[in-house]
Structure 1
Amino acid sequence: MSGRNAPVTAGARRRLALVGDCADCHGLCCVALPFSASADFARDKPAGTPCAQLGADSRCGIHTELRERGYPGCAVFDCFGAGQRITRQTFPGRDWRDDPETARRMFAVFPVQRQLHELLWYLVQAVGLPAADRHREGLDRALAETERLVDAEAEELLALDVAAHRATVNELLLAVSERARAGLPAVGRYRRGADLVGARLRGADLRGANLRGALLLGAELGGADLRGADLIGADLRGAELAGARLAGALFVTQAQLNAARGDRATTVPAGLSRPGHWSAERAAPPAARPRARPAGAGRRQRRR
């Protein structure tokens, strides 16, 4: 059967609903969230104040030039489809421009809905793993409850203890991760939140490594094998992924890819897109790359 006529699986439909669609949103991320002047944002912006680049049509006026104009943080951000769900379902037919009370409630719901959508992204990945079989009942319950919550009324979302729900889901995700990584070469490597900023890991065998919440800013991961590595919450800003094997890594998001630097040889997990800013060229093999050692990198790598 050709790809054109192949049936769309339930998992694929769920993933599609978790992809941000700025054309079907009222620019909520450009208004509700605060910006702080930094390497990610060119200027400060308080929460609840429209970004100066937001047009009357709810489109960004510099969308194609965000990185060049000093807004790489906007280029990386992903609402996981929360923006359009709020626009279509939570507040159908309403806009934050309608009145201050509508704006207040929409802005308060947005971060809650975004966290729920992010959890759905991870749950959809988890239920598709062979390692999920032992946890099937719990995962199915968590998936059903999270899907119910994203469709809830604004009042229920505003009253939700999202941190408690996230903790419950995370226990399941961790259990699946541990089972999926069992027996892989790097299963004992690193601990959650490891400081690997600027770490030199070119060509490293990181299959099964625990990189949950790891700080990998500017890390050199060219040619690294990350299959089966748990990357949930890992900070990949500026990380070099040229030629890295990311297909098969656990819990990768589009925002993580958008924040990193890859090339056409970098493999990408199913359901994600190769970022447009990645190099179209294939990087040289790790052995041919410069061997300079960033200051302090060895110290950071020894933290387990």
Structure 2
Amino acid sequence: MPEQTTDQGALRGDCGSCFGLCCVALPFARSADFAIDKPGGTPCPNLGEGYRCGIHARLRESGFVGCAVYDCFGAGQRVSQGTFGGRARGRLMFDVFPVVRRLHELLWYLTEALDLPAARPVHGELRRALERTEELAGLGAEELVALDVSGHHAEVSALLSRVSELVRGGRGKDRRGADLMGARLQGADLRGATLRGALLIAADLCRADLRGADLIGADLRDADLSDADLTGALFLTQPQVNAARGSAGTRLPGSVRRPVHWAAGG
């Protein structure tokens, strides 16, 4: 297995080491995901002392599903403790946070890709991309704000597309970017399918076979994954799983955790 410079375990949010950046820096609008409107840079009214959420244990029932779903991929603690050395710095910190969050998401994908034997022909390129992404995430605050993160994202995305093709070997349906909102896909054979950026909001994927499917950027909000098989699914993230519904019979890749709310029937 190739040597890796990043561990996916470090790419998970650690709220205890963060200044509540997602609760302050990010905006949200009243919707099915959030109970209120909040502009970026303004603390959420539920944020209490010590940058702790006052309703963390009951976010879903309080109308803050979006908060329960969210994960910063470890960007919060990096910006708080690394970029700003453990000192809260207001607006500049808020501007840096989403940039580092985007870079950390790329680190998640690149680390996963380096663990795929079928992607060995591009492991060298993947290592260089990972090292470059790590280097960018470690820049100073002013440099991060000025960074062309979209350009870097496009380069890495192209490389990850090649990884997907190598792993899937040309198998599976091409449904990238497809509008499958509310689609009835019970028991569907989606092995090795490309579902990049597909809209699967509230789709019925009960008992669907998603083994080896490429799910990068797929919107799985309220999708029903009960008894579905996602073994070996590519580029599946914790926020995607958190946003979906599932059951004890749902099979997941080892890189993501089974959400607690699934045990409660969804």
Same fold by TM (over 0.5)? yes
8 Å contact 1:241–1:260 — kept in the other structure? Answer: yes
Structure 1 residues 10 and 80: CA distance shift in structure 2, 3 A: farther
Shift of 1:93: 2.6
The counterpart of 2:135, out of the listed 148, 163, 169, is 148
Structure 1 residues 181 and 52: CA distance shift in structure 2, 3 A: same
Structure 1 residues 13 and 118: CA distance shift in structure 2, 3 A: closer
Shift of 1:12: 10
The counterpart of 1:221, out of the listed 205, 210, 220, is 205
Shift of 1:237: 0.4
Q: Which residue identity does 1:221 align to in structure 2? A: L
8 Å contact 2:30–2:37 — kept in the other structure? Answer: yes
Tell me, yes or no, if structure 1 residue 176 matches structure 2 residue 160. Answer: no
Taking only the aligned residue pairs, the percentage that are identical comes to 61
1:66-90 C-alpha deviation (Å, 9 max, x unpaired): 1100000000011000000011100
Q: Secondary structure of 1:173's partner?
A: helix
Note the 1:287-298 alignment, pairs <5 A. Answer: none
Runs of 4 or more consecutive aligned structure 1 residues displaced over 6 Å after TM superposition: none
Q: Quick check: which has more Rg, 1 or 2?
A: 1
1:245-282 C-alpha deviation (Å, 9 max, x unpaired): 1120000000001000011111111121100000367x
State the match for 1:64 in structure 2: 57
Note the 1:111-260 alignment, pairs <5 A. Answer: 111-184=98-171, 187=172, 189-260=173-244
The count of corresponding residues between Structure 1 and Structure 2 is 265
8 Å contact 2:24–2:43 — kept in the other structure? Answer: yes
Q: Which residue identity does 1:77 align to in structure 2? A: Y
Shift of 1:204: 1.1
8 Å contact 2:209–2:229 — kept in the other structure? Answer: yes
8 Å contact 1:264–1:280 — kept in the other structure? Answer: no
State the match for 1:79 in structure 2: 72
Shift of 1:183: 4.6
1:210-266 C-alpha deviation (Å, 9 max, x unpaired): 100000011111111111110000000000001111120000000001000011111
8 Å contact 1:206–1:225 — kept in the other structure? Answer: yes
Q: Which residue identity does 1:175 align to in structure 2? A: R
- Higher mean alpha-carbon deviation, 249-258 vs 270-279, is at 270-279
- How far apart, CA to CA, are the structure 2 residues paired with 1:239 and 1:245? 14
Q: Secondary structure of 2:263's partner?
A: coil
Q: Which residue identity does 1:58 align to in structure 2? A: Y
State the match for 2:263 in structure 1: 279
1:149-185 C-alpha deviation (Å, 9 max, x unpaired): 112211221121000000000010000101111153x
- How far apart, CA to CA, are the structure 2 residues paired with 1:138 and 1:11? 13
State the match for 1:264 in structure 2: 248
Could you say what the CA RMSD is over the residues aligned between the two structures, in angstroms?
1.6
State the match for 1:286 in structure 2: none
8 Å contact 2:182–2:200 — kept in the other structure? Answer: yes
Shift of 1:131: 2.1
Q: Which residue identity does 1:215 align to in structure 2? A: L
* 5+ long unaligned stretches in structure 2: none
Q: Secondary structure of 2:262's partner?
A: coil
- How far apart, CA to CA, are the structure 1 residues paired with 2:3 and 2:122? 19
- How far apart, CA to CA, are the structure 2 residues paired with 1:152 and 1:183? 38
- How far apart, CA to CA, are the structure 1 residues paired with 2:229 and 2:262? 15
Q: TM-score, normalised by structure 1?
A: 0.84
Q: Which residue identity does 1:259 align to in structure 2? A: A
* 5+ long unaligned stretches in structure 1: 1-8, 96-101, 284-304
- How far apart, CA to CA, are the structure 2 residues paired with 1:108 and 1:183? 40
8 Å contact 1:42–1:71 — kept in the other structure? Answer: yes
Q: Which residue identity does 1:231 align to in structure 2? A: L
